[in-house]
Amino acid sequence: MSKTENKKSKWTEENPFTLLVTGSTGSIGQSVSNKLIKKYSKKHPVRLLLNGRNSTKLEQLKKELEQRNYKQSVSILLVCGDLTQKETTRSLRDQCGGKLNGLVLCHGICSESENTLQFTKQKELERIFQVNFFSNARIVRKLSTALKESHGSVVIVSSTSEYQTEFGSGSYCCSKAALAMLAKTLAVELGPYGVRVNSVVPGIVDSEMHHKFFQNMESYQEFLDKCKEMTPTQCVVTPNDVARAVVFLINPKNKAINSAQIVIDGALSQKGAIELL
């Protein structure tokens, strides 16, 4: 290892291990934030940037994280805003301070209707793609300099919908398929600069996003029980399952892991098309 590489691998109070999590107020985003700060604050000072659209939830998450005891110093910064807006992306870039060791893209939305693509309005299709695809591409472009400076790592949280269509969710599936190719393209383009880009691909997760499709807790629990019954491993994926994979991929020691996709669904997607919702 050269002296330059060795110098860059040291994180101090003045040069903390800097992480950014988008969509941090969602179920997966919260778990990712928790596990990242727990992992990397053991040995290094950490600066964690959290993004979300709900300022109240962001403040609550920050409060919860700050109440814990860490071996090293931890600073938490909030950037509240819609990632489809250029102002939010610029704010994230400015807060990074020119260096970014880890970027985790957790944000995303589902369609508000269950229409097939032939009946999906153009405005709705564009809205899905703006959040699930274009905002991701814009963020990485804006933060690429900071990532290159730190030889950072990007982890994109996608979905098994990127390769398995679901009736009535065509716009969502198409946006995730585009996101999958974005990750592969960025891995090739940024790899020569020491930046790795990988994906975590969860299936159905016991999360707030899925819960909102059901009128009450009883019907939601029935849905989870059915998922468990159909899954070969007889389990339901949790946000923590996804977060553990993210922490692994972010680790700077995993220099050879680039353009990888870790599917987290207990092999449910291998059984073919599923219609549970």
> pLDDT digit of tens for each residue in the chain (277 aa)?
444 444 444 799 889 999 999 999 999 999 999 999 999 999 999 999 999 999 999 999 999 999 988 888 999 999 999 999 999 999 999 999 899 999 999 999 987 767 788 888 899 999 999 999 999 999 999 999 999 999 999 999 999 988 887 777 889 999 999 999 999 999 999 999 999 999 999 988 887 776 666 667 778 788 888 888 888 998 889 999 999 999 999 999 999 999 999 999 998 888 765 555 5
Please give the DSSP secondary-structure letter assigned to residue 131. Answer: I
* Closest listed residue to residue 147, CA positions, set 104, 179, 185, 178: 104
Q: Is residue 124 part of a domain?
A: yes
Q: Which CATH number is 246's domain given?
A: 3.40.50.720
Q: The domain containing residue 38 runs over which residues?
A: 11-203+239-267
Alpha-carbon distance 8 to 136, whole Å?
Answer: 26
Contact by Cβ (8 Å): 222, 262: no
Q: Is residue 273 part of a domain?
A: no
Q: Is residue 226 part of a domain?
A: no
Q: Is residue 86 part of a domain?
A: yes
CB within 8 Å of 34: residues ≥ 6 apart: 65, 243
Please provide the DSSP assignment of 209-236 as one string: HHHTTSSSHHHHHHHHHHHHHHSTT---
Burial class of residue 205 (count of CB atoms within 10 Å of its CB; 0-12, 13-18, 19+): buried
